[in-house]
Chain A
Amino acid sequence: MKILVCISCVPDTTSKINFKENDTVFDDQGVQFVINPNDEFGLTRAIWFKEKVGASVDVLHVGQASAEPTLRKALAIGADKAIRIDTHAVDAFVVADQISNYLQANPYDLIIAGRESIDYNGSMVPGLVAAKSDIAFVNTCVQLEIDGSIATATREMDGGMELLNVELPLIIGSQKGLVEETDLRIPNMRGIMQARQKPLEVVPAVESQSKSAIQNFEKPTPKAAVKLIPADDIDQLIDLLQNEAKVL
């Protein structure tokens, strides 16, 4: 089985979010970039398949050279090969176009992408790739088993779970649940040494068109100070929620 994991590099969750150039560009100064958490759950499941049932695992990133340390980390925790499609990933459409194009010449049985990236929160890439490449898609996937050419996937819905049978090739939107938090791996010394020898291919981008452009960013308006209510005056809290906030 051939698995491709699509990886996005995102600011670490503790990053301060600031903008520059008149609030038109994200200010990445001092920001540490990591594998998007939803992608990491998918990557960890892919490595599980590799170790338990046999599979090759490639990781792919659409973007610039600054992401290469993150790709090396993916190699260090067990991926076999990294591919970087060299372009400026301006929006989900550009990313999806590049991935679909790559898939045409390089077919995979299973393609994994995070259900959303924690920076732009778009939740768009796997669905776009599925449509462009005409591959079945299961989003918010929290369990995945593969038997021959059939996948059994559990999809988390609002207020429920759905068990789906799908024929490969398949693309999933990965998230927590696919593996447990404790299954996530930290690269060890051996892995890091091995990763240096593993291939990291840089592939030129094909022509693709963005379908959105950010005009500018805005920060939310700062919040008024909290109203503290004494612990023995629950009536006051209920009164405020009912008559001031009007949410009861």
Chain B
Amino acid sequence: MSILLFVESQQRKLKKGSTELSSYGFALAKQQNTTFTIVTINCEDADKLANYGASKLINLKLSTKHFEAHAYATALAEIATKENAKIILISSSADAKYMGGILAGKLQAGYVTNIVGLPVSNDPLTVKRSVFSNKAFANTILPSAINIIGLSNNVHEEISQNSSTAVEHQDVQTTAKCTQASLEQSEGKATIADADVVVSGGRGLKGPENWGLIEDLADILGAATACSKPVSDMGWRPHSEHVGQTGKPVATNLYIAVGISGAIQHIAGVNASKIKVVINTDPEAPFFKAADYGIVGDAFEVLPKLTEKLKART
């Protein structure tokens, strides 16, 4: 038995979060008393994971050149079988969640998403996952012979090891079911999925013309920008920035909420973030109850000052 860890890349480079995932892989292998193999696909810098304690580091060169869920799932199912993997570890990215179900179906494996730590028990394999949009956790038993585990963001420390695992390359022929007609991707910019900091604006900002305040703060912090649901519904910001229970989930290190009241649906989606800072004129805004730090104040005064002071600091 062994563990197989799939680490994603984008434009052929490892995605952010790959070292956290690899560190988790090592800790899991240790806990399960076994070894682990890291698999990348069409990746040019897999060697950066040489010092994470994997027994093997395999880069699959797929004939399908870009991420295509069916092709990736087929290739991963094959290598998982070849490596006799009993646990397959994937991330919580949009691509991983897209592919995970297909992979589980192909392998007839058990599968759980949103895992928040190492298994709580080994026999039977039991993992803790977040459910009800972060309002609860469910300790879940996985009785199958093979199981796929989807790890949430930001749940494990990055720890490198004294290893120097060499990268092996393998060519794999795959067929895609979907043909990519075009791709639009913001390069080099932090995304809500993997940013360390997210700056989020609500209706309190009054209108789209004021979003410069949010963007300036985000720029100085290297943060991704997000918004509340009504802000995207009114077209002030694109839907892709809508976070919350019915939008994107956020599990970042620092979430700064500006002019957002903190409705139950909003908080449910962002509560997995480690530190929450709330800036709101209304001291009774419910968000203060879920926040770590708060400023009762006007965004139009507080934000420029905060941005300026952070700028002076760097």
Say yes or no: is A63 at the interface (Cβ < 8 Å to chain B): no
Interface of chain A residues 185 through 242 with chain B (CB within 8 A): 211-220, 223-224, 226-231, 234-235, 237-238, 240-241
Least CB distance from A112 to B in Å reads: 15
Q: Is the contact region of chain A dominated by helix, strand, or loop, or is it mixed? A: mixed
Contact of A247 among B143, B197, B240 (CB under 8 A): B197
CB of A247 within 8 A of CB of B309, answer: no
CB of B295 within 8 A of CB of A226, answer: no
CB of A157 within 8 A of CB of B185, answer: yes
Known A-B contacts A158-B191, A166-B177; the reply to A176 vs B182 at CB < 8 A is no
Least CB distance from A90 to B in Å reads: 11
Contact of A228 among B70, B114, B295 (CB under 8 A): B295
Q: Which chain A residues lie closer than 8 Å to B103 at the CB level?
A: 127, 131
- Tell which of B131-139, B159-167, B207-215 binds the partner: B131-139
**With A and B bound together, what is the CA distance between A59 and B184 in angstroms?**
33
**With A and B bound together, what is the CA distance between A1 and B52 in angstroms?**
51
CB of A226 within 8 A of CB of B111, answer: no
CB nearest neighbor in A for B142: A212
**With A and B bound together, what is the CA distance between A235 and B114 in angstroms?**
36
Known A-B contacts A127-B105, A128-B105; the reply to A245 vs B275 at CB < 8 A is yes
Say yes or no: is A78 at the interface (Cβ < 8 Å to chain B): no
Say yes or no: is B104 at the interface (Cβ < 8 Å to chain A): yes
CB nearest neighbor in A for B147: A211
CB of B294 within 8 A of CB of A228, answer: yes
CB of B309 within 8 A of CB of A126, answer: no
Say yes or no: is B51 at the interface (Cβ < 8 Å to chain A): no
Q: Is the contact region of chain B dominated by helix, strand, or loop, or is it mixed? A: mixed
Say yes or no: is A30 at the interface (Cβ < 8 Å to chain B): no
CB nearest neighbor in B for A133: B105
CB of A218 within 8 A of CB of B192, answer: no
CB of B101 within 8 A of CB of A124, answer: yes
Least CB distance from A195 to B in Å reads: 25
CB nearest neighbor in B for A245: B275
**With A and B bound together, what is the CA distance between A121 and B309 in angstroms?**
39
Interface of chain A residues 128 through 162 with chain B (CB within 8 A): 128-132, 136-140, 142, 152-153, 155-162
Q: Which chain A residues lie closer than 8 Å to B193 at the CB level?
A: 158-159
Contact of B133 among A121, A127, A211 (CB under 8 A): A121
CB of A165 within 8 A of CB of B137, answer: no
Contact of A17 among B135, B254, B310 (CB under 8 A): B135
Nearest 8 A-B pairs (CB), nearest first? Answer: A127-B101, A131-B105, A231-B297, A159-B191, A160-B185, A158-B193, A211-B110, A139-B98
> Can you list 11 pairs linking A and B with CB atoms under 8 Å apart?
A121-B113, A124-B111, A131-B103, A153-B178, A163-B181, A215-B141, A217-B137, A223-B292, A231-B302, A234-B306, A237-B306
For the A-B complex with A13-B245, A121-B130, A165-B178 known, give 17 more contacts whose Cβ atoms are closer than 8 Å. A13-B268, A120-B131, A122-B112, A139-B94, A163-B180, A163-B182, A164-B181, A176-B239, A177-B239, A180-B233, A219-B136, A226-B289, A227-B292, A241-B254, A241-B275, A245-B254, A245-B292
